[in-house]
Every structure is written in structure tokens, then in C-alpha cells.
Structure 1
Amino acid sequence: MSKGLADILKDYLPKDKTFDILHLQNSPVEVRPIVTVEAQDNTDNDLSDVTIKILHFFSLAYNKKFVFGMEIHVYIILKKAENISNIDYSTADRLLFVSKADTNGYCDVKFSAKQITKGLIRYLFSINPSHYLKKVIPLERKYPKSNLHKLITKETKLDDALHILAERCNESSTTKEMRYQSTLSEPYYNSYKTPSDITSKLCLFTRPADQYLFAESSKNPKKHTLSGAGLLKWWLSIIDELLCELFMEDSIGKLRIPGEEPLTIRRYLKTTKFKNWMVGDIFGGTANSLAIFSIPLFSDDPKSRFLHELVEENRVLTTNLSTFWMELQERQEFKLSETVSVIGISGHTIIPNFLNVTNKDTMITLSKKEYKYIKNYITGEEYNSEEGALESYENVTNYLAYKFNTELLSVIGGMTPRVKTQRVVETQPVVSILQPRKKAKT
């Protein structure tokens, strides 16, 4: 029997403690390439590669309070096989970009944010890629001309839209059912076959902050925050464990700290267990390669913001990777005397059986607007007091019950706490050939 989200997370939560988990996912949508494609002479810039983006948002609750949150963007990049006239996506990249992760300090029991973070990333790597490829919203929908007069789109005039709605109201139930079945059969979505060779990647940018998802949570004295170096070590430990447990031996892990010498970066890598860690990044290119054709454009990412500034300054076609990383460290976000880094891994996973996502595990929203609306119930609250955690939980549960007639997924933890054993040091009498010095008699 295939495992679900609860089956995976229970091994990362305290034993016999019941948690609730909200898992939001938007509908897979085709987007522009995340890395700018260099135009070739006398050729079309469309290389027939397809990039599909999916948003995932997780929020963990205990005792009717949301206490942890994380958002991850998943990209499926289908690559056209070379020297083949027909479009055949035989290979693909599955890239996980960790956008934000945060706690607020209002949990009534001790749990490991590190372990739950690791468990959620493991869950996303375990999802069958076909889950994302069955029904993809295309960049541009091509509606059949025969049905254009029956559809209401952004271009439809108000009078025409009212006329179409009036006709639908006058239709019989049989006609409405026939029209509904016809609509389902129309190619309003794209569907892709799952490639046999998929390279799994993960990328994240570490930067210390008072809060990432829970506004004003830094005012809670119970919230635990990390320094830049501490946050880097925290994430590096998680990614290293995932490499050891989920990836093949020939996979790679890379670490880049803008402004630091390779010798300093290697000191952080001394604590890792996976053997293929090295200094650098997984984006490719050489020192003289243009940064615009190597650095991916992620949402709310300092690297992406810097690339946009280079475009505004008309320097994007003259800035190579060496200059890009050198100038990046001079940006305001890097001048806080805190360590920031870019961590990436790439390789093939060794997961024996992919899991299939169910409605019980995941709430798939019909639109990005609905995804943001539900997420805002959590991220839109203020967490300077415990009331924010309580109100966000109440608002989400009420909305799910009223709108979707569903509830949060409950997970009973099964992780046994580690017992720290104290090392007993036996004391031995000190043997010395020196004679003790006696006090002289007076």
C-alpha cells in the first residue's frame, strides 16, 4: 500500500502527539523558462522545452494553533530529445526551490523544526511526477472556434456575457449535461507523458531574518532564531541527510557563500557525510559565461532581483558569472554582517515506489488566486501574541468546512525522542615519581 503524507510525517513528529497539517497546492501551470534561453542565429528561440510550475504550502498546527510553515516551488522541466523532429520529452528535471520556512514559537510541546522540514522535502521528492503532468494549464489556451460563442473569457463583452448566461439558464438539464461533458473533452489543458529519466534537484538561499512567514513572531521571546552561520549549518545538515538517504552515490551537493574564499567554504563542508560536496553552485556555466543565461529566476530571490537590476542598468549582456557573484555580495541584503549562502543538490533519487497524491493529503486549488486566499489566512495574521496562531487556525478550519466540506489532515507522531547518554569517565589515581614538597618545620 502506497504511503501518504501522514505516513511519512509521523516519523518526524513527537511520539503520540497529534498534529494537524494543511497542505495547499495550486494547479500545475506552464510558465516561461526560469533560465533565459540564448537566441541562436537564424533559428527560432522556441526550443520546445516545457517548464511547469507548482506551488506547495505546508502549515503545521498543534492544540488548535499554527506553529510552523513552509512554502516550496516545484518546477518540472521537460526537455526535448536532440536530433529528433517529433517532440519527445525523454528527460526532465524536477527542481525544488525552498522559498520560505518559519516557526512562531507558540507550540505547547517540543518538536523539531529540522525534522519536519526534512520530512516535507522527502514527501515532495516521493510524489509521482505524473501527478503534475496529467492536467497542466497551458501558457495560452486555444479554444475551439465552434465553442467561442458559448464561452465567457476576459475578452467577452458584458452584453455578450449576459446573453450567454441567459441562454444557459433556459437550457434543459439534459442539454446542460451534454454541454458539460463536451467541455470536459475539449483540450483546455495539456497532458504530458512522464519521462523515464528525471534528474532531481533542490536549491535554496539561506539568509537570517526575524520572521519569514509569521509576521511579528519575532516579538515572541519563545521563538528560536539562528544567526547566518547557524542557519547555514542547520540547512546544510538537512540537505546532507537527504543526499545520504534519497540520492544515488554519483549525485552532487554544492555550496556557495558570496564573498568568501573557497577555503572558508570548505570548513562548513567538513561536517557533511555525503562525499560529493564541493564549492560552487548547480546552475552551470563558467566564470566567463553571462549570468543571465545561467542563473534561474525564482520568486522573491535576491539573485533574481539583482538580474532585474542589471536589465534596468543595461548591463545584463556584459555581466559574467564571476562579476555577478562578486557584485552580489555588495548588495544591501548582504551587508548585514551575516553569512548568506546558496545551497544546491542534483542527482537521481533511489525512492523505490513513488506515492500518489490523494485529496485527503492535499488541497489542490483551482486557481493561484484561491491558493493565495487560503494561504493568507495564515500569513496575513500578526503573531506578536498567541491570538494570531489561534485565529489563523480557526479561520482556516471554518473556511475549509464551509467551502469544501473538509478538514485538516491529522497526524499522530511516532518519532521516539533520542536519549542522550552521558559519558562516564572513570578517574584513576595519578601516579608520579615526584616526591611531594613538605613544608619546612620551624
Structure 2
Amino acid sequence: MLAESRFVDLLAQVLPPLEFKLYHLKTHLKKCRKLVFTSKSDKSVDAYATHFFVLSLDGIDLLGLEVYIYESREYTTMFVSKADTTGHYPSDKPPTQMGKVVQQLLRGLIRYYLPLDKPVRVCLFAKAERQYLFLGSAKNPLKHVLSDAQLVKWWASCLDGLKSEFSSIKKCALQIPGASEAAVKSYLPSNPQLPWTVGDIFWEGAPDDPTIAVKRIPRFPDDPKLRFLEFLVAEKRVKKVSRAQFWIELQSRQEFRLGTTVGIFGLEGTVDKHESLEGNHSITQKEARLLREVTLEGDYSTKSSAEYSSNEFASRVPSYAEIDVKGTLTTPVVKRTVETPQVNVLSAGLVRKKQKTQR
């Protein structure tokens, strides 16, 4: 399969019969510090690649998705960093379920980009915000921001639909710090495909595993778990905090207070099927960061400003990263109106005022 067409069939299944463009920026693998700390004596390093997607229609960006894929000796870890929409979907066109689009993009990453020689982990942190990738889009009245609870349920449904990509599932868990086990279960699909449990996927042993948290918790970028680990380092307690204590103290952090519902998702399994790709182009992390900043520094508050910002982004994307997608979905759906806008904001990480570089 040609690299340029790897997502075409997947997206065509969930898009209406319109002419879309998908921009897919993939970086080279770059060495980084170990995702999970082992010991100071372990001098080995991990590597990561970034995938940044933008879906566009009629010259206006609709959806953005950012995913990191980490390679270590033990695991391949796919971290869903951020997802966002602009809300500028044409009201005179058949609507698109952006959630299904995100699911298919994740499906494509699992199917085409993950190696087969080690377990695969899919992780994300879900907390609703008004905007993540498209500056000013929160001012668009047609952009409907999901509540925390809605967002957690949406991600549970999205991950549940990925079961067919795995040959076996070892763990699948949802953790909501501060919530009871019964409350957490209420966010899971009523007829699940995955064997969901309440908790996390980071410990191999029993809940009373004495291993300290820093040797199990991955250090993802822009993640509250990482910020808490850094806080423990500053307090010189990072080598003392156990699993149970980590989760108890984490729920008192700012991101998990004020009555918000925050979901920490984890899925671990094996993948034994893969399609070979040709023409697998990639760019440097610096080049990807500069292109990503075009959306972060644009203006998506109005249709005209969104069109300008979208064109600015498209003009800088390499031609091989631009993919034409014609939707084939013809299932009748109810068109949205201004009074009942489509829910189309999906998010998977906290927003920052300034863009940080990857470690």
C-alpha cells in the first residue's frame, strides 16, 4: 500500500460523500529520555515519533489530532496528546461524526505504524477544555464543548471500538482520581467489547505492589501525572511514594479538583498484523513543531479567519503529506442546526499558554 493512501479507505467509511483533505505530518524517530524511569545506572534511551493530523473541507480546517508513539525495550506506547475541532463545519453539507474520524485515525496508526515485536500500550488523559489546537475556535458559537463527563464517556467508547485491531488484550482500564469504583464503572460502555477494569495499566503486580510510582508511571508531555512526579522530585519524595499513595495524592492536585471529572485511560495488548508501506515520508521534530504552531498561532474564531489560517497551514505542508479523501458514508443522519450544534470537541490533554518542546 502506498503511504499516501493508507488512511483513505478508513476515513471514507465514516465520512459523507464530500471531498475532504487530510494532512498527515509524521516525524523521524528521535531519541529521548526513558518514558518510564528505571534507575540512574540505566543509560538506555527511548525514541519517539509524532503524528499530527488535520482534516479539512472546502479550505477550512475541521479537526486536529496529535499523537506520540514511543519505542522502548519493553513496550510501544501510543499517547494521544490532543484532539480538537474548529466548529466551522458547513451547515449546508451532510454532517460528519468527528468522533468516528478520530477513531479511524487511531486505528490507522495501530494498523500501520506500530511494530509487532513487543506489547502495545494506548494511553490518554481526558479533561474537557474549550480549545486545544485551534486558537480562537472557542469563540465560534457552533463549537460545542463536551463536558468532562461526556468527554470521558466518549473516549471510553472510542477505545472500545479499537478491539478488532488487537490479537489479544492484556489490560484495559479507566482511572478517575477521587471517584468510587461504582462511579468509574458508570462511564464505561454498557455493552463493552474490551474487558474494562477500574484502575490503571502501569503496575504488573497486585494493588499493594511496593514498587515506587516513579518506576511505573510514564512521563508523557503535558500530563498531570508527570507534573506530580516532578513535584515529588522537588520535595525529594519521588523514591518513597507507593502506588496507593500516588493516586491518593494525585486526586488533590489542581487538575482533579473543583468538581471536575478527569479520565486516565490505558489499553495494553498485542498486534500481530501489519501492512507494509511504500514512500513513508517523515520530517524532523523541529519542522513538525513549526507547522503545528501555525494552527496554535492562527485565528479560528470566525469562518473568514479560519479560512485564512487554514490556507496558511496548507501552504506550508509538504505535498506528500496532503491526502485527498472522498467519503462514502450514505447512512441518513439528521442535519445539525444553529440551535442544536453538533458536539464536535474532543480533547485529550491540558492546554498550555506557550508551546513546549519535546524532551
Give the superposition deviation at 1:354. Answer: 2.0
For this pair of structures, how many residues does the alignment match?
326
Take 2:223 and 2:321, find their aligned partners in 1: how far apart are those partners? 33
Cα pair distance change 1:233/1:348, threshold 3 Å: same
Q: Which residue of 2 aligns with 1:424?
A: none
Matched, 1:268 2:190: no
Q: Which residue of 2 aligns with 1:77?
A: 72
1:6-26 deviation line (CA, Å, top 9, x unaligned): 122211211x21111111111
Take 2:120 and 2:331, find their aligned partners in 1: how far apart are those partners? 31
Q: Which residue of 1 aligns with 2:108?
A: 123
Take 1:124 and 1:8, find their aligned partners in 2: how far apart are those partners? 11
Q: Which residue of 2 aligns with 1:358?
A: 279
Letter paired with 2:86: N
Unaligned stretches of 5+ residues in structure 2: 335-359
Matched, 1:213 2:133: yes
1:312-334 deviation line (CA, Å, top 9, x unaligned): 11121222121111111111111
Matched, 1:368 2:290: no
Take 2:292 and 2:194, find their aligned partners in 1: how far apart are those partners? 39
Cα pair distance change 1:252/1:216, threshold 3 Å: same
1:169-216 deviation line (CA, Å, top 9, x unaligned): xxxxxxxxxxxxxxxxxxxxxxxxxxx632121000010111111122
Take 1:407 and 1:344, find their aligned partners in 2: how far apart are those partners? 29
Scaled by the length of structure 2, the TM-score of the pair is 0.84
Take 1:358 and 1:312, find their aligned partners in 2: how far apart are those partners? 46
Q: Which residue of 1 aligns with 2:153?
A: 233
Q: Say which SS state the counterpart of residue 39 (structure 2) adopts.
A: coil
Q: Say which SS state the counterpart of residue 292 (structure 1) adopts.
A: helix
Matched, 1:309 2:231: yes
Matched, 1:280 2:199: yes
Give the superposition deviation at 1:278. Answer: 0.7
Cα pair distance change 1:275/1:126, threshold 3 Å: closer
Q: Which residue of 2 aligns with 1:335?
A: 257
Take 1:357 and 1:251, find their aligned partners in 2: how far apart are those partners? 31
Q: Which residue of 2 aligns with 1:112?
A: 97
Matched, 1:55 2:40: no
Take 1:409 and 1:419, find their aligned partners in 2: how far apart are those partners? 26
Scaled by the length of structure 1, the TM-score of the pair is 0.69
Q: Say which SS state the counterpart of residue 310 (structure 1) adopts.
A: helix
Letter paired with 1:364: S
Give the superposition deviation at 1:418. Answer: 5.0
Is contact 1:118–1:242 with CA below 8 Å preserved after alignment? yes
Cα pair distance change 1:418/1:355, threshold 3 Å: farther
Letter paired with 2:142: K
Take 1:340 and 1:299, find their aligned partners in 2: how far apart are those partners? 17
Take 1:339 and 1:407, find their aligned partners in 2: how far apart are those partners? 36
Take 1:249 and 1:397, find their aligned partners in 2: how far apart are those partners? 39
Q: Say which SS state the counterpart of residue 101 (structure 2) adopts.
A: helix
| Aligned with residue 81 of structure 2, among 87, 99, 121 | 99
Is contact 1:232–1:340 with CA below 8 Å preserved after alignment? yes
Identity across matched positions, percent: 33
1:54-81 deviation line (CA, Å, top 9, x unaligned): 01100010010011001000012234xx
Q: Which residue of 1 aligns with 2:310?
A: 393
Q: Of the two structures, which has the highest relative contact order with CA contacts closer than 8 Å and spacing of 6 or more?
A: 2
Is contact 1:4–1:355 with CA below 8 Å preserved after alignment? no
Is contact 2:299–2:309 with CA below 8 Å preserved after alignment? no
Take 1:370 and 1:18, find their aligned partners in 2: how far apart are those partners? 27
Is contact 2:153–2:189 with CA below 8 Å preserved after alignment? no
Take 1:340 and 1:266, find their aligned partners in 2: how far apart are those partners? 14
Unaligned stretches of 5+ residues in structure 1: 80-92, 131-195, 421-442
Letter paired with 1:417: T
Take 1:207 and 1:30, find their aligned partners in 2: how far apart are those partners? 29
Cα pair distance change 1:342/1:406, threshold 3 Å: closer
Q: Which residue of 2 aligns with 1:182?
A: none
Is contact 2:14–2:101 with CA below 8 Å preserved after alignment? yes
Take 1:234 and 1:217, find their aligned partners in 2: how far apart are those partners? 21
Matched, 1:45 2:51: no
Alignment RMSD (CA, Å): 2.1
Q: Which residue of 1 aligns with 2:326?
A: 412
Letter paired with 1:19: F
Take 1:405 and 1:210, find their aligned partners in 2: how far apart are those partners? 31
Q: Say which SS state the counterpart of residue 66 (structure 2) adopts.
A: strand
Which structure: larger Rg?
Answer: 1
Letter paired with 1:257: I
Is contact 2:111–2:165 with CA below 8 Å preserved after alignment? no
Is contact 2:160–2:194 with CA below 8 Å preserved after alignment? no
Give the superposition deviation at 1:405. Answer: 5.8
Q: Say which SS state the counterpart of residue 8 (structure 2) adopts.
A: helix
Give the superposition deviation at 1:341. Answer: 1.1
Letter paired with 1:97: F
| Aligned with residue 295 of structure 1, among 217, 231, 236 | 217
Give the superposition deviation at 1:355. Answer: 3.9
Is contact 1:128–1:355 with CA below 8 Å preserved after alignment? no
Is contact 1:206–1:232 with CA below 8 Å preserved after alignment? yes
